Amino acid sequence: MSTSTIAAIGTALSNSGISIIRISGEDSLKIINKIFKTKATLSPNSIVFGKIYDKDKLLDTVLVSYFKAPRSYTGEDICEINCHGGTQITKETLELVLENGAVLAEPGEFSKRAFLNGKMDLSQAEAVINLINAKTKTEARVFSNQLDGNISKKIKKLREDLIYLLAHIEVSVDYPEYDYEEVVPEHVIDLLNNKIDEITNIIDTYEQGRIIQNGINVAIVGKPNVGKSSLLNKLANYEKAIVTDIPGTTRDIVEERVNIGDVVLNISDTAGIRDTEDIVEKIGVEKSLKKLEEVDLVIYMFSALDEIDEKDLKLLSRIENKGLKYIVLINKMDKVEKSIFDTFMKQLEQNDIKNVIPVSVINDEGIEKLKNKIQEIFNKNDLDYEHELIVTNARHKDLLKKSVEFLNQALQEIKNNNPIDIVSIYIKDASKYLGEIIGADVSVDVVNKIFEKFCLGK
């Protein structure tokens, strides 16, 4: 297959120590030889010092490395020019490479070629872009493990087990006259149950994975004037939202991304919930109620100067009954005796409401407790990010779910005593969906969509 030789700047285009211009394809070395002069020999897997010339005009003194196909990132011949990291000189060097026969790479084209040439599978390629975009330590660890192939290995093993079972079934269907070990339905049922459990356990890590990658969506809700916007500002460390002592200050949802430890919170500060005739405020209140249902965590805030009423209890019970995660804060404790908190506690306990914390946002009291509580709630399942397989990608999760559906169908067929070759059709489908995770039998459209999200030069 003849493909063009591509080139792009592999580093960020800003003033820095060095910039790297990457060239991949069968003409890489030919292009380098036209523009690079060195006293050394540029042999495979080496890096040599020399000068880049545009005809007889000197552009820069550089280092050039050469990786010979197939032992390179893309599996093709690759040359990389390490030039000085100024934006002008970097652009000029790239232009020169393009004038001498390379075409500008599409975003993600180097990694796409690596996938198409079998240097990495699709789940590893997807990990590359996520590793580049990782913003927390946990995220980075999860994606370096995925890049190292922890998803690939698990999926390959699951597929092998299913393919072994299929082979076993097919032999006994096609050659019943031979004395092969007969397919025992109980054995197939056990194996299928086993695989369904294994895949379901992997799917269950997705919730944690989504939180690692996108953060925890949090809504601060409560009556007007209890201190919701003050809390947002405290957590964000700057005056993001307007705070006044006028009830009904916040009308629309105010959003802010905040890091606590290694956890990212996407906080929505909402309009105080109350009955109102004001049209704008009314829309705000409706938005607050809607937000409450969409988030991973609700912070329900009271002011210790107010009292709990039926409406609060009704909303809190709804949150509790729906199984939503929540924390209740009793704010403005600086204004009241401690016994007031006990009164709140008693009333909330009577209604089965848990996770209640006394705070004073103004005096910075109880805020550490709140942060610890959030971490405690979301680290409950104690996943070992450094080593365990965690699904972060919705595409992977959907394919895992599909494969479980088909394995369940297979299980049903065998339990209904239907012919074993029908069972095997469902197992084949399950195996096909697992394969798509690592890029086996995947369509060109899917591949293109995945690599479109990459940055230029990767």
Ligand X SMILES: Nc1nc2c(ncn2[C@@H]2O[C@H](COP(=O)(O)OP(=O)(O)OP(=O)(O)O)[C@@H](O)[C@H]2O)c(=O)[nH]1
Residue numbers at the binding site for ligand X (CB under 6 A): 224-230, 243-245, 247-250, 271-272, 331-332, 334-335, 360-362
Minimum CB separation from ligand X for residue 277, in Å? 16
The answer to whether 342 and 348 are in contact (CB under 8 A) is no
Q: What x-and-dash track marks residues 321-360 binding Mg ion by CB under 5 A?
A: ----------------------------------------
DSSP 25-72: STTHHHHHHHHEE-SS---TTEEEEEEEEETTEEEEEEEEEEE-TTSS
From the CB of 353, what's the least distance to ligand X, in Å? 19
**Minimum gap (Å) between residue 260 Cβ and ligand X:** 19
Measured between its terminal Cα atoms, the distance across the chain in Å is 22
State which amino acid sits at residue 10. Answer: G
Looking at the Cβ atoms of 75 and 227, the one nearer to ligand X is 227
Q: Are strands 16-24 and 78-85 parallel, antiparallel or unpaired?
A: antiparallel
| Count of residues near Mg ion by CB under 5 A | 4
Asked whether the beta carbons of 54 and 43 are under 8 A apart, the reply is: no
Distance CA 190, CA 202 (A): 19
**Nearest distance, CB of residue 357 and Mg ion, angstroms:** 19
Spatial contact of 95 and 72, defined as CB atoms under 8 Å apart: no
Q: Are 83 and 62 in contact (CB under 8 A)?
A: yes
CB of 272 to ligand X, least distance (A): 3
When the beta carbons of 13 and 356 are compared against ligand X, the nearer one is 356
229 is a site residue for Mg ion (CB under 5 A): yes
Q: How far is the CB of 188 from ligand X (least distance, A)?
A: 59
Strand order in the sheet with 6-9: 36-37, 46-54, 57-67, 78-85, 16-24, 6-9, 103-104
Site for Mg ion in 261-280 (CB under 5 A): none
Nearer to ligand X, 50 or 224 (CB): 224
Out of Mg ion, ligand X, none, what residue 268 binds, judged by CB under 5 to 8 A for its kind, is none
Find, among 356, 334, 360, 332, the residue nearest to 344 by Cα.
356
Q: Which residue is nearest to ligand X (CB)?
A: 272
Q: Which does 52 bind (CB under 5 to 8 A by kind): Mg ion, ligand X, none?
A: none
Among ligand X, Mg ion, none, what binds residue 50 when CB lies within 5 to 8 Å by partner kind?
none
- Contacting Mg ion (CB under 5 A), which of 28, 250, 303, 393? 250
The least CB distance from residue 320 to Mg ion, in Å, is: 24
Residue 380: Cβ-neighbour burial (10 angstroms; 0-12, 13-18, 19+): exposed
Q: How far apart are CA 226 and CA 271, in angstroms?
A: 11
Indicate whether 213 belongs to the interface with Mg ion (CB under 5 A).
no
226 binds, among Mg ion, ligand X, none (CB under 5 to 8 A by kind): ligand X
Q: Which does 247 bind (CB under 5 to 8 A by kind): Mg ion, ligand X, none?
A: ligand X
Phi, psi (degrees; rounded to nearest 5) at 393: -105, 125
Residue 16 binds which entry of ligand X, Mg ion, none, CB below 5-8 Å type-dependent:
none
* Residue of 123, 185, 115, 195 whose CA lies nearest to 163: 195
Q: How far is the CB of 273 from Mg ion (least distance, A)?
A: 11
* CB closer to ligand X, 124 vs 230: 230
The smaller minimum CB distance to ligand X, of residues 22 and 228, is found at: 228
d(C-alpha 208, C-alpha 390), whole Å = 8
User: Shortest distance, CB of residue 270 to Mg ion, whole angstroms?
Assistant: 8
Residue 355 neighbours by CB distance under 10 Å? 16
Q: Which does 224 bind (CB under 5 to 8 A by kind): ligand X, Mg ion, none?
A: ligand X
Interface contacts to Mg ion, rule CB under 5 A? 228-229, 249-250
